[in-house]
Amino acid sequence: MKNDKEPLLQINHLKKYFPTPNGLLYAVDDVNFSIMEGETLGVVGESGCGKSTLGRAILRLHEPTSGEVYFRGENILNYNKKKMKELRKEMQIIFQDPYESLNPRMTVSQAIQAPLIIQGIYKASDHAALEKKTLEMMDLVGLARRVVNSYPHELDGGRRQRIGIARALALNPKFIVCDEPVSALDVSIQAQVLNLMQDLQEHLGLTYMFITHDLSVVRHLSTSIVVMYLGQMVEKGSPGQIFENPLHPYTKALLSAIPVPDPEKKMERIQLKGELTSPINVEPGCRFAKRCVYARPECRQKELELKEMEPGHFVSCMLCSG
Amino acid sequence: MSILEIKNLKVDYETEENTVHALINVSLQMTGGETLGLVGETGAGKTTLAKCIMGLLPQRTGRIRTGEILYGGEDLLKKDNKEMRRIRGAEIAMIFQDPMTSLNPVLTVGEQIAEAVVNHDHCSKAKAFSRAAEMLELVGIPAERLHEYPHQFSGGMKQRVVIAIALACNPKLLIADEPTTALDVTIQAQVLEMMQQLKQKFHTSMLLITHDLGVVAQNCDKVAVIYAGEIVEYGSVTDVFKRMQHPYTEGLFNSIPQINADVKRLNPIPGLMPDPTNLPRGCSFSTRCPYADDQCQREAPELAEVSQDHYARCFHRR
């Protein structure tokens, strides 16, 4: 697993718990991974599995409960506010919903300029330079220059998401958390935006953490994939390993649940039992055990660890032994 | 026998400045127990069609120019509000797209499900609540959460509540407007499976509006592809998926990432859907179509039968 290159981002034992009236909510529980520069890590899982919280905890939009986040070898959780602000130029996020993540009272140009002004790269009074940069960013993400003074409500989802991307890229970041960037878009537009993100990655050498529930998107983009369930990482590997040889029962169920766009291939779905267990005050043992068809009594007793089954392919399941 | 028949439906939205051509001569037929998939992108007119069937077209702007919607032989467009209120929910129910705005934030989910039951079955409140609890379990939410408010649920769970409301009165025709778009795949599979079971049990027909071609392939008998207010291809799922005739259908298939193959780059349809206030003169897809020629820009093709029960609206059928 150790590469001779140093990873751009390394997460060690990252935890984020939220206090709720009913007890602690284990949103992210002991997650470890690293991302090399220029690569894409896909994070998949169902809603509520903590994938968005993970993305936000890494950027300290939610302060992690414990753990370490190394960016270029430095633990950013020790950074003070000023240093953190400086760092945000390098770490950006593209939000899920282009309908709600843009300020409705800001025009396209204002939205793209806001991070530039906040970070002090341009002075707010320097209109000429700001405008030049805005148009440059709009060209980069394929937004027609004529919409420069439009408000978000005048634009369709694909264009709005391009604003979100332009905004994230304006500061020339190295690392971008993409939190479901295309899930609100139509397929033909989704393909356009995914291609755009791929092109940008190639041209600008970006590193992505791509959070999504759409497994086909993840296969297409990622260099490695993390599967999450109720705050924990259950499987990690290359797209080939995850898709061709899934080991964890949850990954298998997830893959079998994807509807295939071919009426002649009927799905053989692995039935998941029962309901989602609550991430509040979790019981020890495998969190997936309650829904798992293979679960045995031992599964609910021991805490599970990620085991390496083949080089680079990790799984946390009792029933998988090397 | 056909449960729903739509004939030559033409719908515009009148705004102060211009006219939006939302549906252009749409004709569809659904037989009892059948699932018809309606596929298309945002703005293609899918939801408008659903709203016409439900009689929920915005009164101020929506204009039905021509057409009939026959449900069990009767034209729904001629029904008055009172009759439509009876039909909605009990006969034809709708699952709305956006769970964030389709639930009432100040009522508990139990009250909202029970409301539908009380309105149509005229039963006691207690009975309605036990039905509500049953429905919640059916859509995969523990019944204890009956007394919680929508904001306490995740987006996916809210959508399941919406589905529970729609199914609570065992409707004969279910219009599902992107019912599982907001759900996770495992839950989507569960919900679709549940909807299939319910459909079979009560012989419900379903109009399934979606943009997910996988969902259509796995759940529908027939499919209609809609683009800029027009049906561009219509036929059995096998015909449309295996022997597609329209370039737009082809473009849609090229746009989706394949789960079973490593594709380096997707092949999206270039450009955007035409402005519905200002549609191109000829074929409405001609602006994005790789095969378009002079004829396509001059005249609009008709929906023509290419093989038995398989229709396409294109001059260049393959």
pLDDT by position in tens, chain A (length 322): 444 578 999 999 999 999 988 888 999 999 999 999 999 999 998 877 889 899 999 999 999 999 999 999 999 999 999 999 999 999 999 988 777 889 999 999 999 999 999 999 999 999 999 999 999 999 888 888 888 999 998 888 888 888 999 999 999 999 999 998 887 777 878 888 899 999 999 999 999 999 988 888 888 889 999 999 999 999 999 999 999 999 999 999 888 888 888 888 877 777 676 656 678 888 888 888 888 888 888 888 877 888 999 999 999 988 876 5
The sheet that has A40-44: what strands, in order across it? A91-94, A175-179, A207-212, A40-44, A224-229, A232-237, A313-315, A307-310
Q: How high is the pLDDT of residue A311?
A: 92
| pLDDT value, residue A2 | 44
The whole-angstrom distance between A106's CA and the closest CA on chain B is 24
- Angle between helix axes B185-202 and A249-256 (nearest 10 degrees) is 50
Long-range CB pairs of A191-195 (<8 Å, 24+ gap) are: A191/B254, A191/B255, A191/B256, A191/B257, A191/B266, A191/B267, A191/B268, A191/B269, A192/A142, A192/A158, A192/B268, A193/A158, A193/A161, A193/A162, A193/A165, A194/A220, A194/A221, A194/B257, A194/B266, A195/B265, A195/B266, A195/B268
- Please tell me the predicted confidence (pLDDT) of residue A273: 65
- Say which residues have a Cβ less than 8 Å from residue A265's Cβ, sequence separation at least 6: B217
Q: Within chain B, where are the H helices?
A: 46-54, 81-90, 99-102, 109-121, 125-138, 155-167, 185-202, 213-219, 237-242, 247-255, 294-298
Q: Do A188 and B238 touch (CB under 8 A)?
A: no
Choose the mutation target among B97, B255, B277, B289 for the interface with A, i.e. most A CBs under 10 Å. Answer: B255
Nearest chain B residue to A277, by CA = B142
| Phi, psi (degrees; rounded to nearest 5) at A77 | -70, -15
pLDDT at A109: 94
Å between A252 CA and nearest CA of chain B: 11
pLDDT tens by residue, B254-265: 888 877 766 678
Nearest to A234 by CA among A36, A46, A39: A46
| Chain A residues with CB-CB distance to B268 below 8 A | 188-192, 195
B77 DSSP assignment: G
Give residue B211's pLDDT band: very low, low, confident or very high (50, 70, 90).
confident
**pLDDT exceeds 90 at position B53:** yes
Q: Can you tell me whether residue B307 is helix, strand or coil? A: strand
Could you tell me what percent of chain B has a pLDDT over 70?
97
Dihedral in degrees, nearest 10, Cα atoms B93, B149, B193, B128: -60
Instruction: Report pLDDT digits (tens) over B85-128.
Output: 989 988 999 988 777 788 999 999 999 999 999 988 889 999 99
The amino acid occupying position B317 is R
Structure tokens at B37: 């998939």
Inter-chain residue contact A195 with B265, CB threshold 8 Å = yes
Q: What is the pLDDT of residue A1?
A: 44
Residue B137 or B264, more confident? B137
Q: Report pLDDT for A137.
A: 92
Q: Is A243 on the interface with B (CB under 8 A)?
A: yes
Among A159, A180, A187, the strongest candidate for a mutation testing the B interface, having the largest count of B CBs within 10 A, is A187
Q: What is the pLDDT of residue B110?
A: 94
Which residue on chain B is closest to A278 by alpha carbon? B142
For chain A, positions 13-32, list CB contacts with chain B under 8 A.
none
For residue B194, pLDDT beyond 90: no
